[in-house]
Amino acid sequence: MNELPALAAGALAIALSGCGNDDPAPGSQDRQDASKWWAWHADKQHMDMAVSEAINEPGGGNYAKAADAIRNSSRPPAVKQFQIGRLIVRGFMRGSTRRPPESMEQGLRMMEDSAVAPGHEEGVAAQQLRMLFERGGVTPPNSFPRDPEVAACWLELEEERSADAARCIALRRQRLPDIATARHGDAPADNEIRHPAES
């Protein structure tokens, strides 16, 4: 059996302690906090497993099933938005025939919009979007266009040199207004990043 994370062990100890020693009994707020954390952790594990099983189903994975699991979860709206968007994009890139109904562009916009939504996971969207445009996808017909300039914009957020996610979103939508039409190649070569030493 896997060891509990330190936080879980601490929360469980608070909830169960106080009966056989000289310490004061835990307050009701402590017990409520421990109970909420435990319920959240159990739900997260269950949901992560359901998503993993769906995308690893034989025949290219069932991304529609995985996205539906996230939609019906208790995760915060911004987290749901990002994770569903990522599943949509990944489903296209992996050539799955069982995808959510949204287009690749809609999925990408969900990922982008989550980065400026209240309650978003700090740094997660920036990192994933940076890697997406940095690496792209190179297997036709499921390729994804590389764009070093958009990747560099998200890197600035990831490294906390900028907090302007809206600028990165606007940049991508200006350069690649519909990702589906640009899926068969990289961004134009003249848009590659120029480092100061190369100027």
What digits encode the pLDDT tens for the residues 50-65? 999 999 999 889 999 9
One digit per residue, the tens of pLDDT, for the chain of length 199 reads 444 344 333 433 333 333 344 444 455 667 667 776 776 677 778 888 999 999 999 988 999 999 999 999 988 999 999 999 999 999 999 999 999 999 999 999 999 999 999 888 768 999 999 999 999 986 766 788 999 999 999 999 999 999 999 999 999 999 999 998 876 554 544 344 333 333 3
Residues 102/92, Cβ–Cβ less than 8 Å:
no
Looking at 100-147, list the stretches that DSSP marks H as alpha helix, in order from N- to C-terminal side.
104-114, 124-135
Query: Three-state DSSP class for 123?
Result: coil
User: How many other CB atoms sit within 10 Å of the CB of residue 95?
Assistant: 13
Q: Say which amino acid occupies 72.
A: N
Query: Three-state DSSP class for 62?
Result: strand
Characterise 72 by phi-psi region: left (phi > 0), alpha (psi -120 to 50), beta (else).
alpha
Q: What angle do CA 169, 170, 172 make, to 5 degrees?
A: 65
* Residue 140 pLDDT: 67
Tokens of residue 181, six digits: 């039409």
Burial of 194 (0-12, 13-18, 19+ CB in 10 A): exposed
* Residue 148 pLDDT: 96
Which CA distances in Å does 172 have to 37, 118, 145?
38, 21, 11
